[in-house]
Amino acid sequence: MIAILKKELWSYFGNWSAWIIIAAFSLVSALFLFFFENDFNILDIGTASLQSFFTLSPWLFLFIIPALAMKTFAEEQQNGTLQWLFSQPLKISEIVSGKFFAVFLVGILCLLPSLVYLYSIYVLGVPEGNLDLGATLGSYFGLIIQIATFSAVGILASSLSSNQIMAYLLGVFLNFILYFGIEQLANFKLLGGVDYILQNLGFYHHFMAFTRGLIDTQDVFYFLFVIGLSLFLSKYFVEKKK
């Protein structure tokens, strides 16, 4: 797994794709949080809080993570190198895990520039340091586990596709449905008591709990289950390509 992880990280950073994605995430989030007139602008809100960042970030990652994950298996199959991977003394689970952690780590690196936002809010608060650290740390934890979930779903989409564009579109579609689509469907309240069950099947409901500073084991286990299921299905579909 470590060998696959190193190979994938080198492919991301060796051709500048990871640097471009990290820079793009930082630039877009900075523009929305400090420059553009919108509901996310921290200066317009007038509250010493990074809540806007934690609301905006999942939407950015919803498009960024599938872009990182689309190449994991779809590109290997396009280039004919997937069979070479199968010939190596590696288990399919190790290949899937190595690629998953590579996408996940690049996603985590996208968060590092946000520490500048955290420091800015800390300094701009009245009085200085007037920041809800509990909610902030809980939100960071939730965002990290959300990145992991998007990564696992992106890997699954790539394992289902033989074309990178299709892998990207499928990854965005699946993450959108799981993050926002299910939540919106539940909000229509068409199914009575079933709406609450439906709401609990989506990412949004569980992620919002973290942004309030609540780290509930049920929410953690939910995301871990989705990650495990996605990686298990990825392993299954990759094995079928042997």
Residue positions counted in the chain: 242
pLDDT given for residue 124 in this prediction: 75
Distance CA 48, CA 5 (A): 38
Taking the model in full, what pTM does it have? 0.91
């539940």: which residue's tokens? 186
For 143-160, how does the pLDDT look when each residue is reduced to its tens digit (9 = 90+)?
999 999 999 999 999 999
Count other C-beta atoms under 10 Å from residue 219's C-beta.
19
Q: In 3D, which of 96, 11, 28 has the Cα closest to residue 63?
A: 28
Burial of 14-51, coded b for 16+ CB within 10 Å and e otherwise, reads eeeebeebbeebbebbbebbeeeeeebbbeeeeebbbb
pLDDT given for residue 162 in this prediction: 83
pLDDT at residue 229 above 70?
Answer: yes
Distance CA 124, CA 117 (A): 10
CA distances (Å), origin 207, targets 10, 137, 141, 146, 171: 31, 13, 10, 7, 19
Count other C-beta atoms under 10 Å from residue 74's C-beta.
25
Contacts of 54 (CB under 8 A, 6+ apart): 139, 140, 142, 143, 211
Dihedral angle, C-alpha 101, 138, 27, 106, nearest 10 °: -10
What amino acid is encoded at 44 in this protein? Answer: D
For 73-118, how does the pLDDT look when each residue is reduced to its tens digit (9 = 90+)?
988 888 888 888 888 888 999 999 999 999 999 999 999 988 888 8
pLDDT given for residue 34 in this prediction: 83
Q: In 3D, which of 176, 158, 185, 192 has the Cα closest to residue 74?
A: 158
pLDDT given for residue 190 in this prediction: 63
pLDDT at residue 129 above 80?
Answer: no
Render 72-128 in DSSP notation, one character per residue.
TTHHHHHHT-HHHHHHSS--HHHHHHHHHHHHHHHHHHTTTTHHHHHHHHHHHSSST
Quote the tokens at residue 172.
Answer: 């965005």
For 183-223, how does the pLDDT look when each residue is reduced to its tens digit (9 = 90+)?
888 777 666 666 677 778 889 888 888 888 788 899 999 99
